[in-house]
Structure 1
Amino acid sequence: MSELATMERYGELIEPATLRIQRLLPGPIDRVWSYLTQSELRRQWFAAGDMTMEVGSPVELVWRNDELTDPPGQRPAGSSAENRMQTRITELDPPRKLGIAWGETGAVSFELQPQGGEVLLTIIHSRVPDRARLMNFAPGWHVHLDILEALLTGGRAKPFWDEIHRLKGEYERRLPA
């Protein structure tokens, strides 16, 4: 059985306000890097938004989660079909690391490490301001990475919103209050 099949799929708190989640993905590293940095590829699993590849450059991330899986599942009442966030690149070491500001308070880093023909993607979301947001971010990253993995392996991801709902309960049990 490959490490991809046996790796822990759930995020974990590595500090009280810092979530780490990892996936072992099929390489090569440049392919995975393109899914992080190219708007048209990134929008297929996460959020659109053009990036000028230099530290300090602004980025507007645009989420349209209903478009990520077919079917999308049942979007929660009160959730928008589109969400936007202004951010900027805070760290850049192609094709190994991309850091972005997360709104006004947080930060997210994407780190890529080749492992044979596969690539370990580590996402660290730091300075999460409260548990309510953590309980949105953890299942969100989990499902977005499930979709990325399906894209890279030729698989099919489960309906986005249904998985978010299911995983919220899992993360409530898994992550300490």
Structure 2
Amino acid sequence: MVAVTVADRIEREVYVPAPIDRVWRVLTTPEHIRAWYAFGGCELDLRPGGTLRFRWDEHGEFHGRVEKAVPDALFRFRLAHEPDRPGTEAGTATLVEFRISPEGAGTRLRLTESGIRALEVSDEAKTQHAEYATLAWTSALEELAALAAASHN
């Protein structure tokens, strides 16, 4: 049997041709999140310890907990690995972090999702999560960047 090495983290980044305050709004406002990520709906309390819920018709509702939100700089939360479960601890959730910083006339947005190896699921499920999340975050960041670049509110 061949040992499988499961990635523990996903890292993606994108340059957004928009001011940092606009990128922050698109990143953290539920109506914008519905447009670039949680297409079935979003509820979000940005305070530390606040709850979040991301919904997709085809995947269900994923629960999370805000760890830190620093306007125009950092948005960090735990997100349950499985839908319709409240798990927000290591083993049942991953840690998702967005860092934003000014770059020229625009904004650099960096995403990291970590804690994949600590999930209490099979190595095959961890690998599937890492592969799916990599594609989903890549697409979501492209959508977020396009929305922020086009948004004027």
Return the TM-score normalized by structure 2.
Answer: 0.74
Say whether residues 1:133 and 2:126 are aligned partners.
no
Closer, same or farther: CA 37–152 of 1 in aligned 2, 3 Å: closer
Amino acid at match of 2:135: P
- The whole-number CA distance in structure 1 between the counterparts of 2:60 and 2:103 is 34
Cα offset, 1:52, TM superposition = 2.0
Q: Give the strand-richer structure, 1 or 2.
A: 2
Stretch of structure 1 that moved more, 135-144 or 43-52: 43-52
- The whole-number CA distance in structure 2 between the counterparts of 1:145 and 1:92 is 18
Structure 2 match to 1:94: 71
* Bigger relative CO (Cα 8 Å, ≥ 6 apart): 2
Cα offset, 1:122, TM superposition = 0.3
SS at match of 2:101: strand
Equivalences, count: 124
Cα offset, 1:49, TM superposition = 1.8
Unmatched runs of 5 consecutive residues or more in structure 2: 1-5, 81-91, 118-125
Structure 1 match to 2:143: 147
Amino acid at match of 1:133: H
- The whole-number CA distance in structure 2 between the counterparts of 1:152 and 1:111 is 15
Say whether residues 1:105 and 2:75 are aligned partners.
no
| Pairwise CA RMSD | 1.7
Structure 2 match to 1:116: 104
Identity level (%): 23
CA contact (8 A) 2:26 2:147 kept: no
Amino acid at match of 2:8: A
CA contact (8 A) 1:38 1:50 kept: no
- The whole-number CA distance in structure 1 between the counterparts of 2:109 and 2:14 is 5
Cα offset, 1:39, TM superposition = 0.6
- The whole-number CA distance in structure 1 between the counterparts of 2:37 and 2:26 is 9
Say whether residues 1:27 and 2:18 are aligned partners.
yes
Cα offset, 1:84, TM superposition = 0.9
Q: Deviations over 1:53-78 (max 9, x none)?
A: 210011111235xxxxxxxxxxxxxx
Structure 1 match to 2:43: 50
Return the TM-score normalized by structure 1.
Answer: 0.65
Show the 5 A alignment for 1:61-72: 61-63=54-56
Cα offset, 1:22, TM superposition = 0.1
